[in-house]
Amino acid sequence: MSDSLERSAKMSQLKEPLVRKLCEVLDKSSSRGWRKLGEIVGSDRRFKVSSDDMEMCSLKVLELEGSPSLMLLRLMGERGCTTGHLMDYLQALGNQDALLCLKPPALQILIQPQSVALMCGHNLRLSCHAVGRSPVQYQWFRSKEEVPNSSSPDLVISPVQLKDAGFYICRVNSGDAFEFSQWVQVDVLNAGVSYGQSYHSLDGRLKLVVQPQSQRLHDGETLQLECGAVGRPIPRYQWHRNGVPIPNATKRKLVIPHVMQDLHGRYRCEISSSSSSSSERMWTNEVDVVIDDIYAIGEGSGDFLLNSIPDQLYATDKVALLIGNLSYQNHPQLKAPMVDVYDLTNLLRQLNFKVVSLLDLTESEMRNAVDEFLLLLHKGVYGLLYYAGHGYENYGNSFMVPVDAPNPYRSANCLCVQSILKLMQEKETGLNVFLLDMCRKRNIHDNSAPNIVLRVTANIVFGYATCQDAEAFELSSSGFTNGVFVKFLKKRLLDDEKITVVLDRVAEDMGQFDATKGKQALEIRSSLSERRALTDPILPGDSADLAHAHSRQWAKAHELPESMSLDFDCGAQIKLGFAAEFSNVLVIYTHIVKKPEDMSSCQAHVTDFSQDLDVDPKEMNRETPEETGIYLLSSCLPQHCLYTRLSSLQKLREELVFTVCLQGTFASMDDDHPVHWTKSVNIGKPLIARLDLHRAMRRNSCLQTCLMPHSPSHSPCHSPGPEHRLHPHHASLQAQDCNRLSPQQRYLDICEHLQGAVGGCGEPYYDHLSQCRFEPPCDSPEGLSSSPGRLSIPIEASDDIVELQTVFINSLQLQ
C-alpha cells in the first residue's frame, strides 16, 4: 500500500491496538499530550474542536478506564480527519513517540500461534505469520532446541506423538530485525486411555475425550486420576472432591501420594476454556474413590471391598439426536429451533453425549437420520431425542413435521415419536428421553389411529413443551432467541439430579413466566423408576468394543476438513479454515496471509459449489459472519476473514469440490484491471454428508413403524393424493365390517386400540383419555367401530374414563 493511500485512509480504519497505544502515549504526556493536540486541531478551520469538545474529553478521566485522547480522536474521525492529517498534527505537536505509533514496524507478527490440546495420532498445526520490509524467515523451537525442517510459517507434525508435547516458540527474521512469537503449549493426550468421545477439535471448541476412572486403594497408596479435553486454546483444569475444589489441583492428572481414609469420596474435574472471550465449561464424570484400612482387612474381605463402593447408575454410552426444523416449504417459518438446537448441543456435549444436531430435514432425511441414531444405540445407552418445529398429536401419539410436508399433512408425511420409542426399546437402552418442543394440537386432517404396542419399561421420560391440545410458543424478537421451553431448560440441564426432577424445576420456572401464563405449560410423562440423570457417568462394561465401534461411526460424521494454506503462482498465500455450526452446517473462512510487495490490492473468495447445496451467492464471502447467516458461531471464528456458510450438507451427493479465486492489482501495471488466479479444492464429504441421508430409505425400520395399517393415507407414496384419502363411503364400509364382529370382539378391538394409541409405556394413560371421546358414526350402533374413520374423530369432552367404559359395557349387554 502506498504512502499516499495510507494518508488518505480514514481514522476509523486504524486498528484498535494501534489506537490504544497512541492513546496511552497522549494520555501520559503533559506538555505534548491530548490537550495540546486539541489546540492544534482547533486552530484548523477544517476540523474545528471547540472548548466544549475539550471539556467533554477531559471528563473521560472520571470514567473507569476512560481516555480523553480516545474521545478526541473519535471526534476528529467523525469530522473527516484522515490518517495523513493526524500525522501532520502529531508532527506539529512534536511528539515522536506518538508518531512512531503510526509508522509500521520493520517486522510485525500478524498471526500468533495458539496453545492446543489434541489426541495422539492426529495432526498438529501451529501457525505464525509475519510481514516485514524484506523477505521474512521463520524458525520453530521446542523449548531451546530447533525443530528440524521447520522454516515455514506453519509447523506441521503428522501424526503427532506423545513425545511431541511441550512448549513451542517461533523466531521471525526480516533483514536485521527479528521478533519472537508468544510461547505456546502443546498437550498430547493418549488415545489408549480415552473413555469419552474421541474426535477432532478443528473448530477449536472444548471437547472431553479422557474420563477419570473409579479407584479402590489402601492406606498409603498413591491416588492417580486422569482426565483430558482437546481444544484450542489449551483447556484449564480444576479437580473437586465432594463438590469442593482441591487446592492446587489444576493439572490434567491428579496425583496424591500416601492417601489416607479421609481422602475417600467422589471426585470430578471442571474443565474450562482458557480463552478470555469464551465461557465454555464442562465437567467430567464423577467417580468414586474408596480407601480401606489395610489392617482392617482379613479373610473374606473381598466381599467387603466389593460392597464398599456406593451404588452408582451408569450409562454404557450417551447419544442425542437434535432436530430443528424452521425453513418450511408449505407452512409458517420458525426462528427459535436453530438457537435451541445450538444451545442444547453445547450443553449435552458437556454431559458427554455424542450429539448429532441437524437443521431443516425433509421426511426422507428425518427417517434416515433416525436410522443412523438407532445404529448408535445398544444395551444400557442413554438415548435422547430433541425436536423443535411444527408438530401435532393424535390419540396420544406425537408427530414431527418435516420441512417438505404438504399442506395439509397427515401421519404418512410425518414421523411418529412413539414409533421411534418402540425401536429404541428393541435396543435395550438404559434411558429414553424425549424432549418435544412443538405444538400438540389435534390434526383434523389426519384420522389415522396408530397401533403401536410398546414394552413396559421403567426408563421412559417425555418432556412436552406444552400441554395436550395446546401450542408451543417462540418469543417475538427481531434477533435470534430461544423458544420458551429451551429458555428455561438450558438453565437446569446440567443439574446433577434425576431427569424428572430437572424437568419439574423447568416446569416451575416456566410457570413464573408472565408472557406464557395460561398459554403454555410443560407436561412431563414418565415411567422412570430409578434415579437416572443425564449427568450419570459412562461405563462401557461388557459392550466396550461395541461402544468404541459406535464412537467411530459417530466421529465419522463429525470430522471437519483440515485447515489448509494455498500458495498461488503470484506469491500470495491464502489460509482456508473450517468450522461446524451444526452437524449439517459448515462454515468456510478465507484469510490472505501473504501477498507480493508489488501487489497493491488482493482479494480472495470461494465459489462454484455443488448445486445440491443451493448456496445463495449474495450470502457468500461476506466480511462479517452475521452477513452470511452465521449468528451463533461468530464469536468463535477468527477475525478479518471472508465467511461463507454452507447448510443442508445432508443433500450433498458427491465430494465437496469448490474453487478459490484470487484477484489482485499491481502498482507497476498501467491499467487497474485485476489479474485472476484460481485453485480447485476437494474436501471430501464433510460432517454429516458422509452418511448420505439424501439416499432412498433403504432400511425402512422407522418407515415401517411410522406408517399405520389403519391410516387413510397408508400407501407406498408418502405424499398421498386424493385417491388415497378416506371418503365418507369408506367410513360406512368400515361400520359394516364392524357389525360382522361379535360384541366381545368389538369391545376387545376398541380397548386394544385405545391402549396402543395412548400412553408412552404400553399402558393406558387414563388421565389422558378422560379428555377425549369418540364421536359415534351415524350408521354404527353405539359408536363402535373396528377402525375409526372420518366420523370417528376425538373431540374435546369432560367425560370420565369410567363413564366411557360404562357405555361400552352397556352396549355389549344390549346386544
**pLDDT reported for residue 85:** 87
- What does the alpha-carbon distance between residue 329 and residue 335 come to, in Å, rounded to a whole number? 14
Q: Is the pLDDT of residue 139 over 90?
A: yes
Given this model, what pLDDT does residue 780 score?
Answer: 35
DSSP 3-state of 774: strand
Is pLDDT of 595 > 70?
Answer: yes
Q: What is the CATH number of domain 317-551?
A: 3.40.50.1460
**pLDDT at residue 508 greater than cutoff 60:** yes
Cβ count within 10 A of residue 566: 17
Per residue, what are the HEC states of 472-538? Answer: CCECCCCCCCCEHHHHHHCCCCCCCCCHHHHHHHHHHHHHCCHHHCCCCCCEEEECCCCCCCCCCCE
pLDDT in the model for residue 628: 82
What is the arithmetic mean of pLDDT over 260-279? 77
pLDDT reported for residue 812? 40
Diameter of the chain measured on Cα atoms: 111
Can you give the pLDDT at residue 462? 95
The CA–CA distances, whole Å, from 221 to 12, 77, 137, 524 equal: 64, 68, 52, 47
Q: How far apart are CA 616 and CA 645, in angstroms?
A: 10
716-722: which pairs have CB atoms within 8 A and are 24 or more residues apart? 718/363, 718/364, 718/412, 718/413, 719/406, 719/412, 719/413, 720/410, 720/412
In three-state secondary structure terms, 651 is: helix
User: Which stretch of 258-272, 592-606, 625-639, 690-704 has the lowest confidence by average pLDDT?
Assistant: 690-704
**Which tens digit of pLDDT belongs to each residue from 14-49?**
878 788 888 888 988 888 888 889 888 888 877 778
Residue for cell digits 467523525?
78
Distance CA 40, CA 182 (A): 40
Phi and psi (nearest 5°) for 801? -60, -30
Residue 537, pLDDT above cutoff 90? no
Using pLDDT thresholds of 50, 70 and 90, give the confidence band for residue 479. Answer: low
The highest-level CATH class for domain 108-189 is mainly beta
pLDDT band at 706 (very low <50, low <70, confident <90, very high): low
**Two domains, one topology: 108-189 and 559-691:** yes
Catalytic amino acids?
390, 439
Q: What is the DSSP letter of 790?
A: T
- pLDDT for the residue 708: 42
230: alpha, beta or left, given left = phi > 0 and alpha = psi -120 to 50? beta
Secondary structure in 3-state letters for 367-392: HHHHHHHHHCCCCCCEEEEEEECCEE
Residue 670: the pLDDT is 64
Arithmetic mean of pLDDT, 430-451: 90
Asked whether residue 521 carries a pLDDT value surpassing 60, the answer given is yes
State the amino acid at position 554 in one-letter form.
W
- Asked whether the bond before 310 is cis by omega within 30 degrees of 0, the reply is no
Q: Look at 265-269, 354-358, 673-677 and tell me which has the smallest mean pLDDT.
A: 673-677
CATH placement of domain 2-102: 1.10.533.10
Q: List the Cα angle 107/111/116 in 5-degree steps.
A: 135
Annotation: CATH topology of 207-292 = Immunoglobulin-like (2.60.40)
- Give the tens place of pLDDT for each residue, 777-814: 333 333 333 333 332 222 223 334 344 444 434 444 43
Choose which CATH entry (3.10.20.30, 2.60.40.3360, 3.30.1950.10, 1.10.10.10) describes domain 559-691.
2.60.40.3360
Range 631-641 average pLDDT: 77
pTM of the model: 0.56
What backbone torsions phi and psi does residue 729 show, to the nearest 5 degrees?
A: -70, -25
Q: What's the DSSP call for residue 709?
A: T
Out of 298-302, 389-393, 521-525, which region has the weakest mean confidence (pLDDT)? Answer: 298-302
Q: What pLDDT shows up at residue 733?
A: 28
Proportion of the chain above pLDDT 70, given as a percent? 78
**pLDDT surpasses 90 at 534:** yes
Three cell numbers, residue 717: 407414496
pLDDT digits (tens, 9 = 90+) for 68-103: 888 888 888 888 888 888 888 888 888 888 888 877
Q: What kind and span of H or E run contains 677?
A: strand 675-682
Look at the block and give the residue holding cell 503470484.
Answer: 570
The domain spans of the chain are 2-102, 108-189, 207-292, 317-551, 559-691
pLDDT band (50, 70, 90) for residue 697: low
Cis peptide before 450 (omega within 30 of 0): no
The mean pLDDT of the chain is: 77
CA distances from 501 to 349, 463, 495, 528 (A): 21, 11, 9, 11
Coil, strand, or helix at residue 13? helix
Residue pLDDT, tens place only, 321-362: 999 999 999 999 998 999 999 999 989 988 889 999 999 999
Residue-wise over 125-160: b if at least 16 C-beta within 10 A, else e? bbbbbbbbeeebebebbbeeeebeebeebbbebeeb
**What integer pLDDT is reported at residue 562 of this predicted model?**
84
> In terms of pLDDT, which residue wins out, 453 or 477?
453
CA atoms within 13 A on the CB side of 483: 33
What grid cell was written down for 384?
435422547
DSSP, res 618: G
Length in residues, the chain: 815
In this structure, the strands spanning 523-526 and 460-464 are antiparallel
204 pLDDT band (50/70/90 cuts)?
A: low
Percent with pLDDT over 90 in the chain? 31
